Amino acid sequence: MRLLLVEDELELAEPLAKLLKREGHIVDVSYDGDTAWQALHQHHYDLVILDWMLPGISGLELCIRMRLESMTAPVLMLTAKDTIDDKLAGFDAGADDYLSKPFELRELVARVRALLRRPTQIRPDELQIGDLIIDKLNRLARLKNQVIELSAKEYQLLTYFAENQGQLLTHEQIYAYLWGADSEPTSNVVAAQVKLLRRKLDKGFETSLIQTVHGLGYRFNAP
C-alpha cells in the first residue's frame, strides 16, 4: 500500500514513516500542506495521514479539498486539538478517523491497519472489495466484471457481509439485520438465504466466499 504522511514535526514524521515502512508500506512524507496537495495529484494513495496544523494549507482544508475532488483514500487526522467540536469538524471534512496527540505509535499503526481493511468507496454509490463491486444504485453486484443480479434480500445480505468482511456474523445478527430484531426468528431462514446468495456468488471460485462457522454463523472473505 502507498501512504502519504503529512506532518510538519520532523521528530514525529521520521519515526512514524519508519514504522509504517516496516509494516510493508511505501510511505511518502510531506512537511507542509502545499507539497502534500501536489503529492496527492501525483500518486494514488491508499491512505492519507494528515496533521491538522500545517504550514500552508491546513490538514483540515486538505481533507475538504480531497473529498471535493472525489479522492476517496481514507484519511486519518492527527492533532493536538481534542475537543469534541474539533473532532466533529474533522469528520465533517471527510476524515475517517482521528487521533489526538500525544498518541502511542502502536495505536496509530493499529488504526492504519483497520482503515486499510475497510472496503473502499470508489463512487458514493459503489462499494469495492477486491474483485467484487456492489452497485448500490442498481442493487446488483459485479464480480470480476460479471454482473450478478440480486434479490432485495440477497443484496442486503451481501452488503452486510461486505461491510463486515473477515468478521464472524452470527445467525442472530444476520436475522436481525435482514428481518428486524423484533420479528420472531424462524428456523433455517438465514441458512436458506445464504445458500441462495452463495449459488450466485461462488461461480468460478473453488471455495465459497461465505465461510460457514459451524454452530455460530458465517464469515465473508473478500474475493
Residues that bind Ca ion (CB under 5 A): 8, 51, 53
| Cβ-based burial of 126 (10 A; exposed 0-12, middle 13-18, buried ≥19) | middle
CA nearest to 197, candidates 141, 123, 121: 141
Minimum CB distance to Ca ion, residue 15 (Å): 15
Altogether, the residues listed in the chain come to a count of 223
Minimum CB distance to Ca ion, residue 97 (Å): 18
Q: CA 61, CA 74: separation in Å to the nearest integer?
A: 15
Q: Give CB contacts under 8 A, 24+ apart, made by 35-41.
A: 36/4, 36/6, 36/62, 37/62, 37/65, 39/4, 40/4, 40/66, 40/71
Minimum CB distance to Ca ion, residue 114 (Å): 23
Minimum CB distance to Ca ion, residue 39 (Å): 17
Query: Closer CB to Ca ion, residue 34 or residue 131?
Result: 34
Minimum CB distance to Ca ion, residue 82 (Å): 14
Q: Are 144 and 131 in contact (CB under 8 A)?
A: yes
DSSP-derived letter for residue 108 is H
Single-letter residue type at 186: T
Q: CA 139, CA 42: separation in Å to the nearest integer?
A: 34
Query: Closer CB to Ca ion, residue 51 or residue 154?
Result: 51
Query: Closer CB to Ca ion, residue 60 or residue 115?
Result: 60
The residues pairing with 99 across neighbouring beta strands, listed in sequence order, are: 78
Query: Closer CB to Ca ion, residue 8 or residue 46?
Result: 8
Query: Closer CB to Ca ion, residue 95 or residue 132?
Result: 95
Q: Which residue is nearest to Ca ion (CB)?
A: 53
Minimum CB distance to Ca ion, residue 4 (Å): 15
Q: At what angle do helices 189-201 and 152-163 cross, to 10 degrees?
A: 80
Query: Closer CB to Ca ion, residue 9 or residue 135?
Result: 9
